[in-house]
Structure 1
Amino acid sequence: MAPQLAWIGLGNMGRNLVEKGNLDKPLILFNRTKARSEDLASKLGSSKTKVVDTINDAVKPSDIVFMCLGDDAAVNAAVDKMLEEDVKGKLIVDCSTVHPETTNALEKKITEKGGEFVGMPEVLPQDGPDNIPVFGAPAMADNGQLVCVTAGSKASCDKVVPYTTGVMGRTNIDYSGQPAGNATLMKVIGNTFILNMVSQLSEGHVLAEKSGLGVDNLHTFVSTMFPGPYTAYSQRMLAGDYYQREEPLFHIDLARKDARHAMSLAESSGAKESMKMLGLAQGRLDKVKSEIGDRGDIPSVYGVVRKESGLDFKNKD
């Protein structure tokens, strides 16, 4: 008999569990803001989902519980609620982007109670916030194009793999048999590539504008040489999306959290002196927060770099 699944938190990957996971039971949905679960359920169909009021209501009848939450504190609070139930024989899968030490601590806490645990972030060109140890943007999550990363005991990871390639993601990077925190370690390091890329793109466009080459010419080069995330971020910058968007695709606070985790890892690993690019990107993220607050997005770094060179934060009137 197929297991009962639950999804706690953000919903894009949960959507793919329903649409592509061949589930024979309704997916149990819980979100702290119940209206978000109800909205997702209305799109997927009431026969394929069941919205519940509490985390406990999601965990108690479930065999596998996926969660995707915003930060370490939210994940820890959710797991504490889960452990109010008997989790023996249950598998908890964390898709959140948290510090690897948090992931390893969760693995220990849950397995000591007789449960199983897998860290499963996603890894891919990031243009938005499904904020999961998976790499990808919201649109990529919707289309099942994320790259999943699984770590934990092999037996536990084997239970999750059927829901990765072809369901929630396009492929899976398998770290089974390794500490669950290796998945989030991979995710945090991977996100430094995104943060540094956005700074590099911003600098290039500012130089192109101030030198007279023109940003359109540089964008042509970028889209030819670096199709994919470079091109997508370049387009968002030049279109002014980085300050016009009311709801950020990747909230600036989440980006700052990822940068803090990466710098913490660098310091504890003795690599802090080699992370100068990340330090620069981190400072620029902080300036985005000061400039436009909660509307800040990762590509909003472009506005900060513009101001560093004497240009207006906004590239359009």
Structure 2
Amino acid sequence: MNKNLIVIVGPTAIGKTSLSILLAKHFNCEIVSADSRQFYKEMSIGTAAPTPEELEQATHHFIQHRSIKDDYSVGDFEKDALNKLNDLFKTNDYAILIGGSGLYINAVTKGLDYFPEIAPAIREKILEEYHNKGLEHLQEQLKSLDPTYYNEVDIKNTHRVMRALEVCIGSGQPYSSFLTKPKKKRSFNIIKIGITAEREIIYDRINLRVELMAKEGLIDEVKSLYTYKSLNALNTVGYKEIFKYLDNEWDIDFAYSEIKKNTRRFAKRQLTWFKKDTEIKWFDYKEDFQTIAKHIKKSSLRKQS
């Protein structure tokens, strides 16, 4: 295989976008985004999507290409991203995949785990229980039915808790039992790069990013989406906290402090996920990109030999 997918991962606000643009210019290739929060055209400020100036510097794919009203799953993304990579590799030996979502990165690099079809009635019942009894009730059910997955999943992620529960109930087997199948082989080499920093630096960068979002008009962006606040796409950090402010549950200073806190927690979970992957070569966020480019070139030659 002489086609190479450069995968750039790391916590939010660490500088993945700027690095990916430098590498895209260096290898004369294009960028595929695996950031599920940046798929939606209505969400720009709160997702820290690449700016128009950044998008002009390198060709990006899967940035604001869907609507929050669309039903777009990680499975859909896997199929679309692989088709796009197949096209890109027809004219280039390199492509870049960038994102902070381990699930979406794995969908492209390893393939998704597939689960049995679940009756819609089960999904509807779980959704009804969520509205009537809350997320904590669903968390306790998952803990009872699949303690293994309960200890691995972000139990505050409503969508993932509900998905795991419906598989447990619909199949009669733990959700985690479907996660052990062999991963798919890809027709391209995969070179994984991780960008990180000391925790205090990551947290400072997150705080600064949130302050910049506030200046850029995050409140107005969230106001424009208020009608759709029940959609899953908007059940995300930066939006759900401002909805609390708009509903007069929190004052604005507290809402922004919660965004910072929840984003820091998210970054911690990202690092925990990615640190488990022994294929990732980690670099400090200040590392000269030429050093990283040399590592990528060397790795690609080694994989081809």
Task: Please confirm whether the aligned pair reaches a TM-score higher than 0.5, indicating the same fold.
Answer: no
TM-score, normalised to structure 1's length?
0.29
